[in-house]
Amino acid sequence: MAKKGSSKARSQKFEYVEPIGLRVLVRKDEPKKETKGGIALPDSAEIPTITGRIVTISAAIEHDEDLPLRQYDKVLFHPGNAIPVDFESDNQLFVVPAEDIVAVFRREAPASD
Domains of the chain: 19-105 (2.30.33.40)
Burial class (CB in 10 A: 0-12, 13-18, 19+), 54: buried
- 8 A C-beta contact, residue 74 and residue 27: no
Q: Calculate mean pLDDT across residues 4-9.
A: 46
| CA pair distance 21, 14, nearest whole angstrom | 20
- 8 A C-beta contact, residue 53 and residue 74: yes
pLDDT for residue 14 is more than 70: no
- In tens, the pLDDT along 54-80 reads 999 999 999 999 999 999 999 999 988
Looking at residue 1, its pLDDT comes to 43
Q: Calculate mean pLDDT across residues 91-100.
A: 90
- In tens, the pLDDT along 19-50 reads 999 999 999 887 666 666 777 666 655 556 68
Confidence of residue 107 (pLDDT cuts 50, 70, 90): confident
